[in-house]
Amino acid sequence: PRPWRGVIEEYRSWLPVGPDTPVVTLCEGGTPLVPSAWLAEVTGCEVWIKVEGDNPTGSFKDRGMTVAVSKAAEAGVKMVVCASTGNTSASAAAYASRAGLQPVVLVPEGRIAQGKLAQAIVHGARLLQVRGNFDDCLRLARGLAEEYPVVLVNSANEDNYRLAGQKTAAFEVVDVLGDAPDLHLLPVGNAGNVTAYWAGYQEYAAAGHATRLPRMWGFQAAGAAPIVAGQPVEHPETVATAIRVGRPARWTQAVAARDESGGRIDAVPDEEILAAQSKLAAREGVFVEPASAVGVAGLLRAQAEGLVDPGQRIVITVTGHGLKDVDTALAAAGDLVKLVVPPDPEATARALELR
């Protein structure tokens, strides 16, 4: 066995890179597909969790960023810019700095998890907090890229570099399972990832690597569910800050992925997102950030509504690591983290109700 080389070298022929593209990689991708006994029991299905928090900067964004930043380096630019709810900025900062480019990131003021803010800064980004939401940040980032010699590395980009890299996650699922699943669930924010997975599954099947296509089930947070509502949300609100997006850039493509695959896009309330996050951590040992638990919450909700036929093979993408946003996890834990004992064996045993 040889070491994993990152998504560009592993899937080079599927990606828009040439022999002269300088490969900027942190050996992203190759993430685990973990079986879930809990969700299998609940649904009567075979359920696999694609753990994208295991990427180098802790989210799936690294798959697309290796391509976007490699292409920016190839083009000879000096500066890259992105709008972000946090994970894209963390990833852009790491990859751009590695390539010797200056990362600039625009994030909604006070609305991104602390871990992500720290990542952007330690990786050397020029960080601007924008007094507005993600949609405002994206508008500003696009404007900068139009006016100045700065390359936009958002998945909204017409060059599709980010989406090209992100579709490798679908390739990996097929490579590991031997075929596409019946159903693929994932969270939807700006709607780039659902678009990328659907493209990946289609390309792999067209090339004969899979015999079928999954139905794509995407989920938005109830307070930020423009695709479900069929209209933009001016003031999106959700505990899942990563997907607090009111005007998804890939709206049309997400709807196409839904309709072409015979899938659905639905919304889940914040309470169910947090409950799914906590159960996934406590029962399966997989700690994800709130937005990343949305697919799991969606599956549980669909199961309760009788929409999940047993016997299917299901893959759920959990998109980012739980350590990105410890504040939300600690707030949910409440008094559980406040138990203090003296350095005394009896008191310790009593506190643990062992005596």
List binding-site positions for pyridoxal 5'-phosphate. 87, 189-193, 319
88 interacts with ligand F0G by CB under 6 A: yes
220 interacts with ligand F0G by CB under 6 A: no
Categorise residue 68: left if φ over 0, alpha if ψ from -120 to 50, beta otherwise.
alpha
189 interacts with ligand F0G by CB under 6 A: yes
**Encoded amino acid at 325, one letter:** D
Stretch that binds ligand F0G, among 119-127, 140-148, 238-246, 347-355 (CB under 6 A): 238-246
Give the count of beta carbons closer than 10 Å to the beta carbon of residue 105: 32
Length of the chain equals 355
Stretch that binds ligand F0G, among 69-77, 83-91, 122-130, 203-211 (CB under 6 A): 83-91
58 interacts with ligand F0G by CB under 6 A: no
238 interacts with ligand F0G by CB under 6 A: no
Q: How far is the CB of 84 from ligand F0G (least distance, A)?
A: 3
Residue 21 or 278: the one with the smaller Cβ distance to ligand F0G is 278
Buried b / exposed e along 165-178 (16+ C-beta atoms within 10 A): bbbbbbbbbbbeee
* Cα–Cα dist 24/89, whole Å: 16
Give alpha helix (H) positions in the chain. Answer: 7-10, 37-43, 61-75, 87-98, 114-122, 134-147, 161-166, 168-177, 192-206, 226-229, 251-261, 270-284, 294-304, 326-333, 345-351
Nearest by Cα to 61 from 270, 260, 320, 317: 320
Residue 82 or 300: the one with the smaller Cβ distance to ligand F0G is 82
277 interacts with ligand F0G by CB under 6 A: no
**Encoded amino acid at 65, one letter:** M
Q: Which of 86, 103, 298, 322 binds ligand F0G (CB under 6 A)?
A: 86
Contact by Cβ (8 Å): 299, 316: yes
Q: Compose the 280-309 pattern: x for residues touching ligand F0G by CB under 6 A, - for all others.
A: ---------x-xx-----------------
* Cα–Cα dist 275/268, whole Å: 11
Q: Which of 190, 238, 253, 277 binds ligand F0G (CB under 6 A)?
A: 190
Q: How far is the CB of 85 from ligand F0G (least distance, A)?
A: 4
Q: Which residues bind ligand F0G (CB under 6 A)?
A: 59, 61, 84-88, 155, 187-193, 242-243, 245, 289, 291-292, 319-320
